[in-house]
Amino acid sequence: MEAMSGQVPALYRRRIGEVLVTAICDGFVEAPFAALTGIEEAEAEAILKAEFRPTPPRISVNCFLLQSGDRTALVDTGAGDTMGPKLGKLASLLASLDLAPGDVDTVLLTHMHPDHSNGLTSPGGERLFPAAEIVVEEKDVDHWFDDGARSRVDESKQTRYFDEARRQIAPYQDRRKSPGKDSFPGVSAVPLHGHTPGHTGYLVESDGEALLIWGDIFHVPDIQVRHPGVAMAMDSDQQAAIAARRRALDMAAADRLLVAGMHHHFPGFAHIVGAGDGYRLIPESWAFEA
């Protein structure tokens, strides 16, 4: 009998009070070292090798399912079918949870980059979440519809970021709103602008427990947690992204706050502690059941 080579579904559940949070791995993307700015390639490579991580950086892409009472939300939708076969696993993993896209009533977008919002529509541009209200910061939508901002980037970024964001949000324009305290039961928005103009985290609170899903506070945790001043080429405003990262890391460390993110190593639940001029990420211990 031939041994199976595939992995079990990339799902992990954790309760925050009465809210069931399921981490879902949409896949991963390999980024060139050139995507990192503020650090020499040799130093970045040495850090990853010391941490037994692949080189060039392998970036996990995670989404989070929130279930509270009879309500169901997704925080980000992954890459859909737009970024190759190593991404776009969200739909099949929802099915393995006996959930159809129509069961999702709210989509909370941290921002509108292709690995976060391209799972909103089909290749033909139809809504994949027919019953969902889309929660996204207006500053993000305005940015991607800004022809002036589009004209200032190269053709690849025009297509990959601006045009794709417009295509993904188009069928939801009559059912979207900016984030607020009523975005979803027990969830409030945390502005973390910088990586994109409207980059947003979502704080889940229930029964005295809390989790901050902080989006793209970092992309390569092994490097950017210990060196918060390292930015990414895809940051809309690198200095603002660095400032937001430092604020978020400070807050998580000071408040001993549980955090999760779209580019943590799966499943992504962790704590942050200070370490010299930077920080250290401590993954939460794996639990057998939620």
Look up the CATH number of the domain holding residue 103: 3.60.15.10
Do 204 and 181 touch, CB atoms closer than 8 A?
A: no
Cα–Cα distance between 180 and 111 in angstroms, integer? 15
Domain that holds residue 124: 11-283
Instruction: Report pLDDT for 183.
Output: 81
Q: Give the pLDDT mean for 59-79.
A: 97
Residue 2 confidence class, pLDDT cut points 50, 70, 90: low
Would 132 be classed as within a structural domain? yes
- 94-130 pLDDT per residue, tens: 999 999 999 999 999 999 999 999 999 999 999 999 9
φ/ψ of residue 25, rounded to 5: -90, 115
Instruction: Report pLDDT for 4.
Output: 63
Cα–Cα distance between 143 and 172 in angstroms, integer? 17
Would 6 be classed as within a structural domain? no
Handedness of CA 229, 59, 261, 118 (dihedral sign): positive
Would 4 be classed as within a structural domain? no
Q: Give the pLDDT mean for 238-257.
A: 98
Would 3 be classed as within a structural domain? no
Q: Which own/partner contact pairs does 235-240 have at CB distance under 8 Å and 24+ positions apart? A: 235/194, 235/195, 236/143, 236/194, 236/195, 236/196, 236/197, 237/194, 237/197, 238/37, 239/194, 240/193, 240/194
Domain tally for the chain? 1
Do 60 and 265 touch, CB atoms closer than 8 A?
A: yes
Cα–Cα distance between 58 and 55 in angstroms, integer? 7
Which of 2-16, 37-51, 135-149, 249-263 bottoms out in mean pLDDT, i.e. has the lowest? 2-16
Would 5 be classed as within a structural domain? no
